[in-house]
Amino acid sequence: MTLLNETQMLARLVDPDPDRRLVITPLIRPEEQFGPTSIDVRLGTDFQVMRRTNMACLDLAGDPQKLAADVQRASHWVKVPPGEPFMLHPGEFALASTLEFVRIPLDLAARLEGRSTWGRLGLQIHATAGFVDPGFCGALTFELSNVSTMPLPLYPGVRIGQLCFYQSIRTNMPYNRKRYSKYSGKATTATSAFFQDPEYARIRAAMNETPAGAEFLQPS
Amino acid sequence: MIASSSFDKTPFDKARGIGATSGVNSRASHALFKLFAYETLERWASVGALIEDVTGASGSSSERLPAMVCEALRERHRRVFGFIASHQSELECAFSAGKLTEGKLVEQANKLPEAVRVLRQSQHALAKIERLLAQTGGLQQRAELGFLMSETRQWEIDQPARNRRAKANRVRSSADKPDPKFWTVYEEIQQIDAADWDHPAWAASVAWPVTPSRLPIRWAQNPVGWLLALRSQITQLSARLLAESAEGHKAMQTLRMRLPSVAQQAYGADVVLAALIGIRCYGPAWYFTRVMEAVNQFDTGFLQILEPLMFHALNFFNFSDKNLVLMHDSVLRGLPLWQQLAEVKPAACARAESGLYAEAAHTGPEADALGGSFALNEALTDALDNVLSWAEDQLPDAHACQLTQGVFTDKHLKRCAPMEDILGDDMLIASHRPYSLAHVNVLLQEKYGDSLDVDASGVPVSGQAMHGLHGAGGFSSVLSSVHSPGSTSGHSGPSGHLMSVYHLIGMLAEEPISCREMITAGWLHKLNRASVMVYDTLLTSAFETDNLCSAQCPLPAAALRFMNHVNSRSRLLLKSMETAQVHQMLMALPTQSSAQWPSKPWYDSEKALAAPSVPAPSESVSANYAIAAAAMASLEI
């Protein structure tokens, strides 16, 4: 895995071969966005926060369609016009997306990282999911959280994250064609689709089955 | 049928070389029918997506409808699709895919009316569902209903075991019932039935012309047809231009004299001028939108009178695209069939059309009276050219600053063609690059040569670079090149140019694209793919009614595919528009206030369209630009 530098990223952005071309659009001011080994990405206009509901939990044993509806019901979508801020209060968590639409070629992987400018103010842009698979196509989702004690006004279009790219061996299983891929092709903030993970189906099936050896535990 | 002698003089017809044979007429009729079918299916898909959005299965809305209303809406939507599916054989006959002799094509054309009837009835049902959605939880009303919904939801939670129908009845009679709005709506949904297509109450609610309050909510999510919302502004602008210009008044008088009397009765001068001004301001997208609206409504008067004028205006302003020619040709050749279909009013549709197709009903008799007499003869063409020249003077490119982004020119259209391809690749079309990628690539290769590519282990793959590292000169030569004075970023190109890497990076800067161009690209995309998508949806083997009853797959696979395609394109277009807004703001170019931001019209079109105030006629001519700018403000950036 080799981290690409600025000229290599530039070469990938203008590569004549569409399969090798890295797409990041719009590049509004690339001179400002390019770093030695990274490209800054901007905040989009769609935000999603979890609201307080009377649901005790998202029960994994439940019906996936009901889970999907519950997740949607617990989500509140906020669309912020340009020039107006989204206020992220201390301790709050929100999903957002990049303004840029990204397409990663099959022989590159990417990592989404925060910018130190915002890190010093207490903004974290992802909790644990910063890796972008080869073949990903769409807007990247930020998992914003404010760990400072001051509310942070977040304006659409500000650079809050950066992407760095790793050269890898060309994959035969790109993300957009991967089985069980859930977030490819999304143009906006994507809600968690954990209920689509196949293991939950197995868990549900296991929970509905009688556990092995249960008959021996029955009182005689 | 319209005489086409005057069109033969245009460059389009010279290139076209299509004769007016019966086979061509049948093919054109099929083309018109495909567009109609695509429009119907797209509408069906948009409404389906809206139902999913509002009812909470996959969408993004913040408020949800009560479960019983959701289920009722879904059920009715499934039933509408089932209605189309049950008539699949008729549609198949009409859609016979490719490799047909002309005789067969004529034979198939005879079956078109039956297929059109099926689609028309499904359209009526969808219009009714749209109206119900607008009442219950459409995007425009969602915020207002939020509190009500939460109350209703709580009420449902409190009484989980009750039967839904019984609950509705009980609530209606109880003192602590929630707002009766839901239950009224629920009852209305229950009353929709396949035999109830022609209920006059709902048909009247979607009567034309479209006012903001009547704007179908599907346009909130599908921006391609959204231009119609600007029709009132265009009418205002043309009326103002006409009132303040004596020259224009004279040109219009001449045009009025040259127009056949029947056409004058059907469409006044203001309607004609508004159509032409729309072309000037919005370009081919306006033409596509208006023609498809007319096709959808069987407005043969429009197709017969205004469409040729609008197509002539497109020629006048140098808009050339194959889709324009194909569409015009389809309308021209398919008009007899469409007239026939407009006359054939099944009993089930007759009453509905009195409301839904009010405009068409008004113009229908006049259009029939025209017969084949209307033609763009030389005198009429001259008069039309005078009017268009006058419109060009009144809305010149030089006043672009006053018109936010200026008028729509052929340069804009040329930019839209590649955007259509990009949209086809499921990519964002919010911006374009002034420099081509190939140009930047050439400069990059010239400067940095083969040292750009690295393999997975991080070693340069080019032989030259390998030689540079491992050869006799080895590392010292690389070091010396890195520290050469001409290299700004630590690299030196073989050509020795002093171009910094920042210059190359700067060449990748993108410029935002206006919403008009995006909508035009959306139309081109739609027209290019209409046939394929309709064939795929209607003729695929997965299109079976059995699937409709499946709980796991409520809609057939082909329908889902179609729906996904339409919705992904719509989402991309909307995202592109939003992104372009932010882009524009960051480029420090004039932007709109938040009240005019495009997201507002999607959700609250009334405010956005009510924003421009109409100045008094005595004010200066610049007021015209103010109206035009206000009209474009909801689309422009």
Band (B608; pLDDT cuts 50, 70, 90): very low
- CA B333 to mean position of chain CA atoms: 23
Band (B21; pLDDT cuts 50, 70, 90): very low
CB contact under 8 A, B57 and A77: no
Q: Is B388 helix (H, G, I), strand (E, B) or coil?
A: helix
Report chain B residues whose CB lies below 8 A from the CB of A79. 578, 599
User: What pLDDT score does B395 carry?
Assistant: 72
User: What pLDDT score does A121 carry?
Assistant: 92
Picking from A30, A107, A188, the nearest residue to B508 by CB comes out as A30
Report chain A residues whose CB lies below 8 A from the CB of B599. 45, 79, 81
CA of B547 vs chain A CAs: smallest distance (Å): 18
Report chain A residues whose CB lies below 8 A from the CB of B508. 10, 13-14, 27, 30
CB contact under 8 A, A14 and B440: yes
More confident residue, B11 or A6: A6
Count of A–B CB contacts within 8 Å? Answer: 158
pLDDT tens digits, one per residue of B492-502: 444 444 567 88
CB contact under 8 A, A79 and B599: yes
Catalytic residues of A: 143
Find the mean pLDDT for residues B55-59: 52
CB contact under 8 A, B582 and A99: yes
Find the mean pLDDT for residues B4-18: 40
- Assess whether pLDDT exceeds 70 at residue B36: yes
CA of A68 vs chain B CAs: smallest distance (Å): 6
More confident residue, B215 or B160: B215
DSSP secondary structure letter of residue B259 = S
Q: Is B176 helix (H, G, I), strand (E, B) or coil?
A: coil
Band (A156; pLDDT cuts 50, 70, 90): very high
CB contact under 8 A, B510 and A27: yes
pLDDT tens digits, one per residue of A26-68: 999 999 999 999 999 999 998 988 888 777 777 776 777 777 7
How far apart, in Å, are the Cα atoms of B242 and each of B189, B250, B273, B277, B612?
47, 9, 9, 11, 19
How far apart, in Å, are the Cα atoms of B153 and each of B66, B67, B106, B159, B163?
6, 8, 56, 10, 15
Number of Cα atoms under 13 Å in the Cβ half of residue B556: 23
User: What pLDDT score does B400 carry?
Assistant: 45
Picking from A31, A77, A167, the nearest residue to B60 by CB comes out as A77
Return all residues near A39 (Cβ < 8 A) that are at least 6 apart: A9, A24, A30, A33, A162, A163, A164
Say how far apart CA B222 and CA B47 lie, in whole Å: 10
Tokens of A121: 């103010």
| Contact residues, A window 58-87, toward B, CB-based 8 Å cutoff | 65, 68-69, 72-73, 75-77, 79, 81-84
pLDDT tens digits, one per residue of B74-132: 777 777 777 777 777 777 777 665 555 666 767 777 777 777 877 877 777 777 777 66
CB contact under 8 A, B575 and A101: yes
Percent over 90 (pLDDT), chain B:
1
Contact (CB, 8 A) for B74 and B49: no
User: What pLDDT score does B347 carry?
Assistant: 43
More confident residue, B196 or A69: A69
Band (B141; pLDDT cuts 50, 70, 90): very low
CB proximity A193 to B under 8 Å: no
User: What pLDDT score does A103 carry?
Assistant: 92
Can you give the three-state secondary structure of chain A, one letter per residue? CEECCHHHHHHHHCCCCCCCCCEEECCCCHHHHECCCCEEEEEEEEEEEECCCCCCCCCCCCCHHHHHHHHHHCEEEEECCCCCCEEECCCCEEEEEECCEEECCCCEEEEEEECHHHHCCCEECCCCCCEECCCCEECCEEEEEECCCCCEEECCCCEEEEEEEEECCCCCCCHHHCCCCCCCCCCCCCCCCHHHCHHHHHHHHHHHCCCCCHHHHCCC
CB contact under 8 A, A2 and B64: no
Say how far apart CA A155 and CA B579 lie, in whole Å: 13
Band (B340; pLDDT cuts 50, 70, 90): confident
More confident residue, B424 or A165: A165
Range among A156-170, B189-203, B556-570 rated most confident: A156-170
Report chain A residues whose CB lies below 8 A from the CB of B465. none
Find the mean pLDDT for residues A199-209: 75
User: What pLDDT score does A94 carry?
Assistant: 93
Say how far apart CA B335 and CA B330 lie, in whole Å: 8
**pTM for the predicted model, two decimal places:** 0.74
CA of A80 vs chain B CAs: smallest distance (Å): 9
Contact (CB, 8 A) for B214 and B139: no
CA of B569 vs chain A CAs: smallest distance (Å): 10
CB proximity A207 to B under 8 Å: no
Range among A104-113, A208-217, B106-115, B487-496 rated most confident: A104-113
Say how far apart CA B381 and CA B387 lie, in whole Å: 10
User: What pLDDT score does A128 carry?
Assistant: 78
User: What pLDDT score does B100 carry?
Assistant: 56
Picking from A10, A28, A45, the nearest residue to B586 by CB comes out as A28
Say how far apart CA A177 and CA B300 lie, in whole Å: 46
CA of B446 vs chain A CAs: smallest distance (Å): 12
- Assess whether pLDDT exceeds 50 at residue B148: no
ipTM: 0.86
CA of A218 vs chain B CAs: smallest distance (Å): 33
User: What pLDDT score does B155 carry?
Assistant: 36
Return all residues near A184 (Cβ < 8 A) that are at least 6 apart: A135, A136, A137, A138, A175, A176, A178
Name the phi and psi angles at B119, rounded to 5: -65, -35
Tokens of B632: 């474009």
Report chain A residues whose CB lies below 8 A from the CB of B440. 10, 14
Say how far apart CA B306 and CA B295 lie, in whole Å: 13
CB contact under 8 A, A68 and B57: yes
User: Mean pLDDT for chain B?
Assistant: 64
Report chain B residues whose CB lies below 8 A from the CB of A185. 426, 568
User: What pLDDT score does B603 carry?
Assistant: 31
- Assess whether pLDDT exceeds 70 at residue B228: yes
DSSP secondary structure letter of residue B285 = H
Picking from B430, B504, B600, the nearest residue to A26 by CB comes out as B430
pLDDT tens digits, one per residue of B431-481: 888 888 888 888 888 877 766 655 545 555 444 443 444 444 444 444 444
Q: Is B432 helix (H, G, I), strand (E, B) or coil?
A: strand
Return all residues near B171 (Cβ < 8 A) that are at least 6 apart: B155, B177, B178, B183
Tokens 């968590």 belong to which residue?
Answer: A93
Contact (CB, 8 A) for B305 and B255: no
User: What pLDDT score does B206 carry?
Assistant: 36
Contact (CB, 8 A) for A189 and A48: yes
Report the amino acid identity of residue B38.
Y
Which residue on chain A is closest to B580 by alpha carbon? A26
Find the mean pLDDT for residues A3-13: 90
Contact (CB, 8 A) for B355 and B200: yes
Say how far apart CA A110 and CA A175 lie, in whole Å: 12
CB contact under 8 A, A69 and B56: yes
User: What pLDDT score does A130 carry?
Assistant: 83
- Assess whether pLDDT exceeds 60 at residue B212: no
pLDDT tens digits, one per residue of B515-546: 888 889 999 998 888 877 777 777 665 444 44
CB contact under 8 A, A28 and B599: no
